[in-house]
Amino acid sequence: MQRSPLRIILFVAFVDLAAFGLIIPLQANYADRLGASGLTFGLLVGIYALMQFVFNPILGRWSDRIGRRPVLIASVAGSVASHALLGVADLAGSLPLLFVARTLDGITGANVATAQAYIADVTTSENRAKGMGLFGAAFGFGFVAGPALGAALAFVGGHISGERYGTAWPAFGAAAIAAMALFLVWRFLPESRKPGVVTEERVTLLTFGRVRTAFSHPRLRELFVAVFWATFAFVLLEVSLVYLCVHRFRLTEGGTGLLYAYFGVMMVVVQGGLVGRLVRRFGEPRLLATAPFITAAGFVLISGVPMVSGLGAAWLLLIIGCMPTALGHGLTGPNLSALISRQADSGRQGVTLGLSQGVGSLARAVAPPVGGYLFDVGPSWPYWVGAVLFVGIGGFAVRICSAQERAVQAQRRRDAALTHEPT
């Protein structure tokens, strides 16, 4: 594994999530101060996921055609501009400019597939899941650091500039962090795409034809379905957990932020330290077939939080329930990405991983209203539905991973037979 360029890619991943997490606590304040309704705020949140859904495959395909480095430079530069524009929108009190900033951020933040393709380029087949795990850990670090940094910048900015202008400081802080990543990518990141790899010449928008072509590959189709439902089920928790904290524990924004930080730390531990070791011992298919059941167990524990009468018991269920949830989800994502990258042709890893990210972004766009509706029906419903979905995902993963193991063993037997043929 080439560690120097990998470190820069991991820093780009950290910047993406740090900037995203840095904006999360204040985005609602921005919209509310500008007179946005709840529907308008929902559209503001949804536009980011929608742009990621559309542009992740586009940037991934561009990276297959012209190289990873120029796409990463352009996308990180766009992130600098989008975060700066967000701060300007807050200072100017402009809701349309706020929409433009979030739209641009969704477009330029859609470099996840390109970054994953870079990791696939610079890692061996044996180390790929570990590389994807480190990538997920960088995301986790960003999610932990972002809200804390945003709160600190807003506090300092409020004291220096006054409460009216202090909330713009986190946006400009995110722009500064992205500018640092831009310098590192421009100055130190080499191109990873191997010369001579045949790629498609024409770059197009995400179309049903392209999706149909990707889904015609039976193994990729099965993995994409697993990506969608695993993301959908987990977003049910992401959306409803903040409401659960407020209604059940009366937590302030700071308390909720600490809980998310606790969850993020566990994700970092799993994806940064455990994925590589567990893959070496058990293999990607076995881990992928086991992880959804672990996540389902965590969801079941968290579903009991609204039902127990004692506050101490509720806290215990929540803290314990977050552990298997983080473990299972932390093992699912990197192994799915590694398996998808192995199924992709060498010249189409960027676009294939882009389609995978697009499927995940589509789930992130669809799941939030569903999660909110389920919470209105009953605070435990998002976790019950999520647990059922993860059990189904686990059963599905057992089947597809068994098929993949059989295919790998058959290929090894064919390779062995060819090796021993007389010349």
Q: Collapsing DSSP states into helix, strand and coil, what is residue 262? A: helix
The pLDDT confidence band at residue 404, using thresholds 50, 70 and 90, is low
Q: Model confidence over 241-282: pLDDT tens digits?
A: 766 776 788 765 556 656 766 777 777 777 666 766 777 777
Is the per-residue pLDDT at 187 higher than 60? yes
For residues 349 and 290, the model is more confident at 290
A 10 A CB-CB count for 93 gives: 13
Q: Collapsing DSSP states into helix, strand and coil, what is residue 310? A: coil
195: left (phi over 0), alpha (psi -120 to 50) or beta: beta
Tell me the C-alpha distance between 321 and 314, whole Å. Answer: 10
Classify residue 214 as exposed, middle or buried by CB count within 10 Å of its CB (0-12, 13-18, 19+).
buried
Q: What is the DSSP letter of 9?
A: H
Kindly report each contact of residues 392-396 with a partner whose C-beta sits within 8 Å and lies 24 or more positions away, as own/partner: 392/229, 393/226, 393/229, 393/230, 393/233, 393/292, 394/289, 394/290, 394/291, 394/292, 394/293, 394/296, 396/222, 396/225, 396/226, 396/229
For residues 121 and 389, the model is more confident at 389
Residue whose tokens read 């909330």: 167
Residue 294: its pLDDT value, please? 92
Is the per-residue pLDDT at 300 higher than 70? yes
Residue 56: its pLDDT value, please? 74
| Residue 117: HSE in the Cβ half-sphere, 13 Å Cα cutoff | 37
| Residue 131: HSE in the Cβ half-sphere, 13 Å Cα cutoff | 27
Residue 305: its pLDDT value, please? 92
Q: Which CATH architecture has domain 208-423?
A: Up-down Bundle (1.20)
Distances (CA, A) of 142 to 31, 148, 214: 23, 10, 31
Alpha helices in 1-127 (DSSP H): 3-33, 38-66, 68-92, 95-108, 112-122
Residue 271: its pLDDT value, please? 65
Q: 4-19 burial by CB neighbour count: b if 16+ within 10 A, else e? A: ebbebbbbbbbbbbbb
Alpha helices in 189-217 (DSSP H): 208-215
Query: What's the topology of domain 1-186?
Result: Growth Hormone; Chain: A; (1.20.1250)
Q: Which two tokens stand for residue 231?
A: 């993301």
Is the per-residue pLDDT at 336 higher than 70? yes
Tell me the C-alpha distance between 230 and 195, whole Å. Answer: 35
The answer to whether residues 149 and 18 touch, using CB atoms and an 8 Å cutoff, is: yes
The pLDDT confidence band at residue 205, using thresholds 50, 70 and 90, is very low
The pLDDT confidence band at residue 199, using thresholds 50, 70 and 90, is very low
Is the per-residue pLDDT at 52 higher than 80? no
The answer to whether residues 171 and 23 touch, using CB atoms and an 8 Å cutoff, is: yes
Q: Model confidence over 110-163: pLDDT tens digits?
A: 677 777 778 877 777 667 667 777 777 776 677 677 777 777 777 787 778 776
Q: Model confidence over 90-113: pLDDT tens digits?
A: 888 888 888 899 889 888 876 777
Residue 298: its pLDDT value, please? 93
Mean pLDDT for the chain overall = 76
- Extents of the domains making up the chain: 1-186, 208-423
